[in-house]
Structures are given as structure tokens and as C-alpha cells.
Amino acid sequence: MLSSPAMGHAPLLVVENLRVEFPRADAIVRAVQGLTLSIGHGEIVGLVGESGCGKSAAALGLLRLVPPPGRVSAGRVSLDGVELLSLPEKQLRRYRGAGLAYVPQEPGSALNPVLRVGSQIVDVIRAHRPVSRKAAWEEAVGALVRVGIPDAGRRVRDYPHQFSGGMKQRVLIALALAARPRVLLADEPTTALDVTVQAGVLDLLRSLIDGRELGGILLITHDLGVVAALCDRVLVMYAGRIVEQASVSDLFDDPRHPYTRALIASLPQPDARRERLPAIPGQVPDLGHLPAGCAFHPRCPLAEAQCRVEVPALQSRTNGRAVACLLEEEAVAGAAAPRSAE
């Protein structure tokens, strides 16, 4: 089942049944098990879940950049109608950057420490378009201006270590934009940034969509607060599978999967006077040794015998919603109040 883009948005990116796996000595790690989603023009879609649930593997799978021996074992990725995963490597390279651009986590390690940021942006521009070095250098200055770096004409000659964490994140976004991509895959773009810097980066991403510099964004994050601030729709991922998808307002107003409910319950509330926030008990399972049945059952307050046997399918609901839970009605009735991690 495809997640539906907002009304009036033709799909820009369509992903169907993407599977990513990593062979390990003792097991096959199934990091992504049948991811299906779409992004319409002008949409920001969030992919949210705890660390280790397969979100980053999904982003790398979309670009066929899964590090070996990992591999994309199945799936289709279509950008503006072009099927990417079946392209020969040389052709696919043209779409990496200019079609789908990936902004990795950790801006500190993603930038080359011994090259000026301007040179790094120039290299990206010239890898995708036949422009002179001088023209590319001017474009690099413009790219830094676009992402809100003050005094860009001077700072383009600086090295990565001369930028703060928030400014490095902006440089990474400028680097991704230099190839003029259609869709940005932003992997935890605000992790490790303080709250005000985080707000600036989120505003920047929204302005790139509103100004039509980008066709769409897939925002990968563990932070539902970031999703609430920026996204139009959201997919909740657990142990390699999508367990719920909805518009952001539907998800927060009426979460239906016990995992989503627990994630939302663990968000700080400005008006609440709790001393301790509820946490989800237990750990994300090892993706090489998933529990039988519903992978969430060891942590789910509603789990019953059938949950230990049957894998719940993602079932469509109205308004583009979908939920993968055998006991959805009980969860919605409120029985799935999260347990405190004590």
C-alpha cells in the first residue's frame, strides 16, 4: 500500500517494497522489510523511529549506496517516473545528488577536513554540470548565502573546523543543494544541535520547499518533536517495518499503534508537572534475531498470545492512514498507556 501524497500533489518519489539486508556470521540482518512510501511535490515526509530501527539503511537503500556486504534485496524506487534501482551504476550516479541528495548524520565527519568548504561545493557542482571553476566558485558563495551563512563571500574559503555545529549542518545542506536535487534525504539533520540552532535548520528546510528549490524532503529522525515542527506526513518505523502512517495532525491527535502512542507519551509536555517522563520499556530488537509475530510484542502493554505468532500487516484506513496492529481498537481505546521504565 502506498502512502498517499497530499491532495493535488502528483508523486515525485515513489518507493515500493524496498528491502535492505546485511548478512552477518550468525544471521541475516533484515534492516528494511518492505518499505513503501511516496512523496508529492512540495511535501515533507517524516520517517521516524528509535535508533537501530532501519531508517538510515532505508535512505542508503533508496540510493543503492548500502555498504557491502549489505544489499538492496528487492524493491523499486521511482523518481519523476524514472526507475532508479534497475539503472546501471554509471547512469544511477547521475541521479545521486542531482535527483536524490543525501544529507548524512554527523556533519563533522561528512565534510572533508582538509578542503575549504568552497572547494567541496565546487567539486559537487562540476561533477554534475559543465561550468567553469570560477562560475562554480560564485555558485558556491550563492549556495552558502541560500542556507543562511553570514559573510558567505569570506566564509567560502574557510575549512570545516572553522564552522560551529549548526553552521556545519548548513554547509552540508548547501553541499547537497549544489547538485540541484529534486528530493533531499535528510538523515537526523538536527541531532546534536541546541534548540535554537535546530529551529533555524528546520526553518531553512521549510523555506527550501516553500521557495521551490526542492521538490520534496524525506526527513529521517528519532525525534517526533522535529516531525511535528516540519513534516506534512509521517511514517513510524519499528524493527525494519512501517507500523503506522498518517498526516502529522492525525498522528498526534489520534495515534493508533501502541508504539506510536508510547513515543508520543514520552514527549515532554510544557504544561505537565511530571517528575519523570514515561519511557518505552526494553530495547529495539536485534534485527538479525527478531521476535516471532509482531516485533513490538516484548515491549507492548497490550500483547496477547496471537501477537507472538502473527506478523500484523499494514492495513489502510481512511485519509491515507495505515496501521499494523492486531489489536488496534484496544490500543485506541486507551488500554496501551505506556509503562514507566522503572
One residue of 75, 189, 312, 320 binding ligand SF4 per CB under 6 A: 312
- Return the range that interacts with ligand SF4 (CB under 6 A); candidates 31-39, 49-57, 192-200, 323-331: 323-331
Residue 296 touches ligand SF4, criterion: CB under 6 A: yes
Residue 256 touches ligand SF4, criterion: CB under 6 A: no
With b for 16 or more beta-carbon neighbours within 10 A and e for fewer, the 93-102 pattern comes to eebbbbbbbb
Residue 265 touches ligand SF4, criterion: CB under 6 A: no
**β-bridge partners, 37:** 15
Task: Using alpha carbons only, give the angle 84, 85, 88 rounded to the nearest 5 degrees.
Answer: 85
Q: Which residue has the cell 549544489?
A: 178
**β-bridge partners, 79:** 13, 82
Residue 327 touches ligand SF4, criterion: CB under 6 A: yes
Residue 300 touches ligand SF4, criterion: CB under 6 A: yes
Residue 325 touches ligand SF4, criterion: CB under 6 A: yes
Nearby residues of 291 by Cβ (< 8 Å), 6 or more positions away: 285, 297, 298, 308
Residue 236 touches ligand SF4, criterion: CB under 6 A: no
Residue 261 touches ligand SF4, criterion: CB under 6 A: no
- Give the nearer residue to ligand SF4 in terms of CB position, either 39 or 294: 294
**Rounded Cα distance, 2 and 336, in Å:** 27
**Rounded Cα distance, 261 and 241, in Å:** 17
- Give the nearer residue to ligand SF4 in terms of CB position, either 62 or 303: 303
One residue of 146, 256, 261, 297 binding ligand SF4 per CB under 6 A: 297
Nearby residues of 302 by Cβ (< 8 Å), 6 or more positions away: 258, 327, 330, 331, 335, 336
User: Do the beta carbons of residue 72 and residue 66 sit within 8 Å?
Assistant: yes
- Give the nearer residue to ligand SF4 in terms of CB position, either 87 or 284: 284
Residue 262 touches ligand SF4, criterion: CB under 6 A: no
Residue 223's nearest CA partner among 181, 256, 195 is 195
- Give the nearer residue to ligand SF4 in terms of CB position, either 7 or 305: 305
- Give the nearer residue to ligand SF4 in terms of CB position, either 144 or 302: 302
How many residues bind ligand SF4 (CB under 6 A)? The answer is: 12
Residue 239 touches ligand SF4, criterion: CB under 6 A: no
Q: Which residues bind ligand SF4 (CB under 6 A)?
A: 258, 294, 296-297, 300, 302-303, 307, 312, 325-327
